[in-house]
Structure 1
């Protein structure tokens, strides 16, 4: 496996038929929660379908190829250390890669139209510094403010020969903060670590969906019967949650849990704000707490409430309409292994 700088800010990854790119967070110094992403380009100049960087059409074409790497939160709960977090992404050999930053927002929000494309910062000599580390790959140091120290977000990138972590095949895609176990038969052990920096006593669980769009099968025929945003979706999600995975933690505490996820399906995280599932399944709607999902259409405010912080690592925002956008109200890390 090899990663080479072939243009001013374009990298080429080579290896076997599929090559793995490892991205590790090494530092951040920003009050904003910025999201890092990557997209494939056609040549060392960074063009896409003949459209050059800086052209009016370029952002749309880049987003069509974009994959989220992770977000870096700015206020870490006690017990949560993000420095060792990483993402592993797979590309066809000889792919040309270019990186981008979403300033204090997410790719999902831009694609959904709730955030302007002006929040996207493409790599350039004014936004990114590249350091060649030899056999250890490269360091990418970003700035998204008027500062000139390029420390807003710093990552190491490297070509590696490693298998993708279990459950991550959809992570990085649009609204892909999910666990994909469709190719697995039998049970999967899930070890959870939960952290919190929030006044609300929130609840996180996982529910089963029938497809990548978040549709829920309510009659066990394998076909989605209700889609995100449709009436009854919240109740259907709670009814289809995985029993026994009830994730809560004291403020500034750390809690660990072990559960089982059956193979052959996609599992989606949700957060109940300052409440529990029972309140959503009783006969009264007057006591229903807010519930948020990775699918923006399922959220009553239409905002992004779950960010990918690393492989199988999810950060939650518990306030409506974007809130304080810190995505540290609950953080859930999942280590998956074949049971």
Structure 2
């Protein structure tokens, strides 16, 4: 079983969202609209993948927070109608056990997922400004003024020889600027979007790895920009951009409207850590076909 763990704020100690009480019609939908992804679990962990994932999230002091799980799918999938809201498991006294431990660490036992939570004054990692939001598997460097060094670690548990890259988008909606005026010329879902994204990908970020292997890459991102990942399934940019449309591989993005099957193919596994599903319509939904972790620092 693969879960996405999320958190949402409620308006009082009873858990109401506005006037909607827990268990009432519309409560799950209201919770997801104000929710943030904390991380996703995966099955069949690739050899060499470091599972010691620590995710930092920021919440306003004094807010009431509740948790939920999405079973074998994601918030994006539920909100897009791909997954039933019955696959959303909201925390309750019946399914959530909170155990305090030393050093102000709390252990959450939620279904068969165990998570440790601790308050910290540690600075948030660079690039995570939109991560956790709907279709927010992005690298956000819009408030950065210097070039950013990116160190990638890539793992794989898949038959297909996939390719992962990143491309610049104008905003969180995924538009692509073609003429350099920082305004979107091609929007998600419009003709030519896939080709524009792949053609405009960041140079030197060509991420591949052998099955059950680990590969490391180093490159840079430009400041004052927003970048989205994409996966080319069992193919390469050259196959997509050549003059032969009959050999075009499938390409998937964080934006469901850009995907031919309108399905979620990229999950947030932790801060700046992305899991990819390479099969049509979500396939086996294990999101381990390629895993990319990136460490960002000012160059």
The two structures share one fold, judged by TM-score above 0.5: yes
Which residue of structure 2 aligns with residue 131 of structure 1? 99
TM-score, normalised via structure 1 length: 0.87
Describe the superposition over 1:192-222 as per-residue Cα deviations: whole angstroms up to 9, x where unpaired.
0000000100000000001110000111111
Which residue of structure 2 aligns with residue 109 of structure 1? 77
Q: Does 1:333 align with 2:293?
A: yes
Q: CA deviation at 1:134?
A: 4.8
Q: Does 1:58 align with 2:27?
A: yes
Residues 76-225 of structure 1 aligned to structure 2 (within 5 Å): 76-82=45-51, 84-143=52-111, 152-225=112-185
Q: In 1, Cα distance between the equivalents of 2:19 and 2:80?
A: 25
Q: Does 1:280 align with 2:248?
A: no
Q: In 2, Cα distance between the equivalents of 1:320 and 1:126?
A: 36
Q: In 2, Cα distance between the equivalents of 1:60 and 1:256?
A: 40
Unaligned runs of 5+ in 2: none
Which residue of structure 2 aligns with residue 297 of structure 1? 257
Q: CA deviation at 1:284?
A: 1.4
Which residue of structure 1 aligns with residue 230 of structure 2? 270
Q: CA deviation at 1:33?
A: 1.3
Q: CA deviation at 1:300?
A: 0.5
Unaligned runs of 5+ in 1: 1-31, 144-151
Q: CA deviation at 1:155?
A: 0.4
Q: CA deviation at 1:127?
A: 1.9
Which residue of structure 2 aligns with residue 20 of structure 1? none
Q: CA deviation at 1:254?
A: 0.3
1:40 to 3, 6, 9: 9
Which residue of structure 1 aligns with residue 209 of structure 2? 249
Secondary structure of the equivalent of 2:56? Answer: strand
Q: In 1, Cα distance between the equivalents of 2:185 and 2:110?
A: 44
Describe the superposition over 1:111-130 as per-residue Cα deviations: whole angstroms up to 9, x where unpaired.
11111111100001222211
Q: CA deviation at 1:44?
A: 1.3
How many residue pairs get matched?
Answer: 299
Q: CA deviation at 1:186?
A: 2.0
Secondary structure of the equivalent of 2:116? Answer: strand
Which residue of structure 2 aligns with residue 14 of structure 1? none
Secondary structure of the equivalent of 1:176? Answer: coil
TM-score, normalised via structure 2 length: 0.98
Describe the superposition over 1:67-121 as per-residue Cα deviations: whole angstroms up to 9, x where unpaired.
0111010110000121x20211112211110000001110010111111111100
Which residue of structure 2 aligns with residue 314 of structure 1? 274
Q: In 1, Cα distance between the equivalents of 2:160 and 2:217?
A: 20
Q: In 2, Cα distance between the equivalents of 1:57 and 1:197?
A: 38
Which residue of structure 2 aligns with residue 146 of structure 1? none
Secondary structure of the equivalent of 2:77? Answer: helix
